Amino acid sequence: MSIERELFITEVALRDGSHAVAHQYTTEQVTQVAKALGEAGVPYIEVSHGDGLGGSSLQYGLSRTNEMELIEAAVSVCGSSNIAVLVLPGIGTIKDLKEAAKLGAKMARIGTHVTEADVAAQHIQTAKELGLETVGFLMMSHMASVHKLVEQAKLLESYGADTVYMFDSAGALLPHEVKERIHALRQSLSVNIGFHAHNNLSLALANTLAAIEEGATRIDGSIRCLGAGAGNTQTEVLVAVLDRMGISTGIDLYKIMDTAEEIIAPILQAPQEITRDSLVLGYAGVYSSFLLHAQRAAKKFGIDSRDILIELGRQKVVGGQEDMIVDVAAELAKNKAIYSV
Amino acid sequence: MSIERELFITEVALRDGSHAVAHQYTTEQVTQVAKALGEAGVPYIEVSHGDGLGGSSLQYGLSRTNEMELIEAAVSVCGSSNIAVLVLPGIGTIKDLKEAAKLGAKMARIGTHVTEADVAAQHIQTAKELGLETVGFLMMSHMASVHKLVEQAKLLESYGADTVYMFDSAGALLPHEVKERIHALRQSLSVNIGFHAHNNLSLALANTLAAIEEGATRIDGSIRCLGAGAGNTQTEVLVAVLDRMGISTGIDLYKIMDTAEEIIAPILQAPQEITRDSLVLGYAGVYSSFLLHAQRAAKKFGIDSRDILIELGRQKVVGGQEDMIVDVAAELAKNKAIYSV
C-alpha cells in the first residue's frame, strides 16, 4: 500500500466539540455547520455524541438530540464531504455502527485506551465489512511508552484499519514527544498515520505541525477550538498556518474562517479557553472525567485537588479506575498530616 | 559580560493586556493583580498603557486611570518583584520615564519598529542614567530579514540596553522562523536575549519554547493570555510546560494559576480567543490598528477586508502608513472589476 502524501483534515467540532456544548446540539445547528463545512471543502466531518455513538447516557451526558438524527441531517447537506462517526467499544455497539452506515456515514473511527487495542478488533472488522473507511485510534497516548504505542498500533493495523491515529487525549504531550511517537509509528506501520491533539498546554497546533513533519497525513481539527478540555487544534488557524507553509488541505481559508466566526461562535455559551482546570488536566496528564471526582475528594479531605490529579497522573490511573481517586486523596491527606506534625 | 542561563519572565497582562480591556484597568484591579503576581514570584511586572507610557490619547485609547497612579499602586504591593514600564519613543517621553522611575519602576522597556532602532538611543541612555535595568526591543520583527534584525539589535546593544528583545507583534512567525532569528541574535550579541510572542496563529507557546531552545532567557507572558490581538504566551501555561521540561522560572505554579483564574478572568468582559480578526492579522502579518481601517475601506469599495490586509502584509506596510490602506483597497477593487469583466 502506498503511503499518501496529501493532508486530510477531519473536523471534530460536531463530535469532540459536543463536550463543549454539553451534548446540546440541535438538528438545525448540525445542519448549518455541516453544510458550511462541506462548502468549505472539509474532507471529513465527524458527527457523534462526544463519547461516540451510544454515548448519550446519565454517565456520559444526555444528548439533546438523537445522534442518528444529527448524522442523517449532516449526510443530507455535506455535499462531497464524508460524514465520520466515532465508536468507543464498550460504549458504542456494532448495531450503532450499522445504523450510522445505513444513514450514510462513510467513515468509522474506532478507539480504545492506548493499551487496549484488542477490544477494537470486532468493530474494525465490521466497519470494513460495511464498506466504511476505517480509522483505529489510541487514546491517552502519552501514558504508553513508544514501544507499547507501536505494538498497539500494529494491532489496529492488523485488524484492517486504513488509518491509525494517535490521540493526545489529555493534551499532555510536548512537541518533541509527538515527533518521537509519530516517527516510530511511521517507521513501523504501512497504513496512514493520524494525529488528534488537545490544547491544554497551548501546544495543540505546534504538536500537529510536529506530527505532520514526521509523516502524519490525517489530522483532526476543530473550528473555534471546540472540544473537551481546552479544545483541539483550531481548524481555521491550522489551515492558515499550513497555507503559509505551502501545504494544501483543499479547504477554503476564508470559508472555514467564516464558518468558525459566524456559525460556531454564536452557538457557544462560553468561548473555549485554557482555564485552570483544563491546564491542570494537561499538566497532570489525566482524563477530564477525573476532575469532578478529584474536586469532591479534595473537599472531603481538605487538600488541593491539583495534588490529587498530579498524583493520579504519576500513577498512570486510567478511566474506569475512578475508585482510586478517593484512595489517592486519603493517602495524600495522611502524608500531609504527618508532614505537618 | 557573561550570558545568563536562568529564565526570567516578565508578566505583561497589566500592559499588553490593557489592550484587551480597552485600557480600563482600575487602581484596585492593578493592586490586586500586582500583589498576587508578586506573591507568585514573578520577577518583572510591566505596568503601562497598552501603547506604553503616554499612550492614553484619543488615537491610542484613553486610559480610565492615570498610569502613574497604577505604577505607584503596583510598586507598593509587588514585594520583591520589579515593576517595568514600556516606552515607545514618539509616544512616551523622557519626562514620562523619569516620572515612572521616581515612582519606583525598576525596569524600562524601550521599543521601536524593527527597522528604526536609532530612535531609541536617547531613551535607552536616559533609562540607564536613571539606574533602571534597560530593555531595548524590536517590534514586528517578522517584517525584517534576519540580517536587518541583527543589525538593528546591535544598535540597541550599542546604546546600552542590558537586554534586547525580539517582539513578534503580529503573531506572524512560525517556530522555525523564531529559531533562526533568535539563533542569529544569540550569535551576534553579548547581552541577554528576550522574546515576546502573540498567539494569532496559535503558536505563541511553541514559538516561546523555540526561542528558549536557542538561548533566549527573558520571556514575556500574560496570564490568561491577555494581550493585543489573540493575546500573548499564556504565563501560567508556560510555567507549567517549563516545569515539565525541568526549566525553573522561580514562579509558583499553583499561585500563578490561581491569579489567572481568580483575579484576571473575572476582570475580562470577553475571554481571549483566536477570532477571525486576530487570525487574519497573524496570517497577513500586519498591525492590529490596520483592522478597522481595512474594514471601512472594504465596505467602501465592496471587497473583502481580508484581501486588503493580506496585500498590506505583502507590501510590508507599517504603522504610520495608514493612508496606504485606501490606496490598496482602491487598487484591489479596480483589479476585481477588470477580472470580473
Record: fold of B8-267: TIM Barrel (3.20.20)
- Please tell me the total number of residues recorded for chain A in this structure: 341
- Kindly state whether A130 is in contact with chain B, defined as any CB-CB distance less than 8 angstroms: no
Question: What stretches in chain A show pLDDT beneath 50?
Answer: 1
Q: Helices then strands (H, E): number in chain A?
A: 14, 8
Give the pLDDT of residue A5: 64
- Cell digits of residue B236: 501560567
Substitution target in B173, B222, B273 with the highest count of A β-carbons within 10 Å is: B273
Q: Could A206 and B201 be called an inter-chain contact, meaning their C-beta atoms sit closer than 8 Å?
A: no
Under the banding of pLDDT at 50, 70 and 90, the label for residue B195 is very high
CB within 8 Å: A271 and B276: no
d(CA B161, CA B159): 6
Positions of A marked active-site: 19
DSSP state of B292: H
Report yes or no: A279 at the B interface, CB cutoff 8 Å.
yes
C-alpha–C-alpha distance, residues B318 and B281, integer Å = 13
The segment(s) of chain B belonging to CATH 1.10.8.60 are: 289-340
Quick check: B206 and A205 CB within 8 A? Answer: yes
CATH fold of A289-340: Helicase, Ruva Protein; domain 3 (1.10.8)
Share of chain B above pLDDT 70, in %: 98
Contacts of A339 (CB under 8 A, 6+ apart): none
Partner B, chain A 191-210, Cβ-Cβ below 8 Å: 199, 201-206, 209
Give yes or no for residue B4 having a pLDDT over 80: no
Question: Distance between alpha carbon A199 and the CA centroid of its chain, in Å?
Answer: 11
Q: What is the Cα–Cα distance from A105 to B53, expressed in whole angstroms?
A: 58
User: Could you tell me if the ipTM is greater than 0.90?
Assistant: yes
Give B-chain residues touching A199 at CB under 8 angstroms: 202
Q: Which residue spans of chain B are classified as CATH 3.20.20.70?
A: 8-267
Interface test with B, best of A178, A276, A281, A310 (most B CBs within 10 A): A276
- Percentage of chain B beyond pLDDT 90 is 91
Determine, for residues B306 and A205 on separate chains, whether the beta-carbon distance falls below 8 Å: no
- Comparing A288 with B331, which gets the higher pLDDT? B331
pLDDT of residue A1: 43
Amino acid letter, residue A261:
E
pLDDT of residue B322: 82
CB contact under 8 A, A224 and B282: no
pLDDT score recorded for residue A269:
82
Task: Fill in the amino acid letter for B277.
Answer: D
What is the CB neighbour count within 10 angstroms for residue B332?
Answer: 19
Mean pLDDT calculated for residue range B32-51: 97
Q: Does B240 sit within 8 Å of A283, measured CB to CB?
A: yes
B336 — pLDDT class (breaks 50, 70, 90):
confident
Residue B38 has pLDDT above 50, yes or no: yes
A77 touches chain B (CB under 8 A): no
Mean pLDDT value of segment B240-258: 96
> Locate cell 514501544: which residue?
A147
Check CB contact of B245 with chain A, cutoff 8 Å: yes
* Identity of residue B173: L
Task: Spell out which residues of chain B touch residue A280, defining contact as CB-CB under 8 Å.
Answer: 257
Q: Which of B179, B199, B202 to mutate to test the interface with A (most CBs of A within 10 A)?
A: B202
Count of A–B CB contacts within 8 Å?
A: 105
A328 is written with which cell numbers?
A: 489517592
Q: What is the pLDDT of residue A339?
A: 67
Q: Answer yes or no: are the C-beta atoms of B51 and B82 closer than 8 Å.
A: no
pLDDT of residue A28: 98
Helix axes A276-284, B235-244, angle to 10 degrees: 10
Hey, what long-range contacts does A244-247 have (CB within 8 A, 24 or more apart)? A244/B174, A244/B201, A244/B283, A245/B174, A247/A7, A247/A212
Terminal Cα distance for chain B, rounded: 65
Round to whole Å and give the CA distance between A126 and A107: 12
Q: Which of B1-10, B12-21, B120-129, B298-307 has the lowest mean pLDDT?
A: B1-10
Residue-wise pLDDT tens digits, B259-277: 999 999 999 988 999 999 9
Contact A237 B265 (CB under 8 A): no
According to DSSP, the residues that pair with B234 across neighbouring strands are B222
A258 Cβ under 8 Å from any chain B Cβ? yes
Cβ contacts of A261 on chain B, cutoff 8 Å: 275-276
Residue B15 annotated as lining a ligand binding site = yes
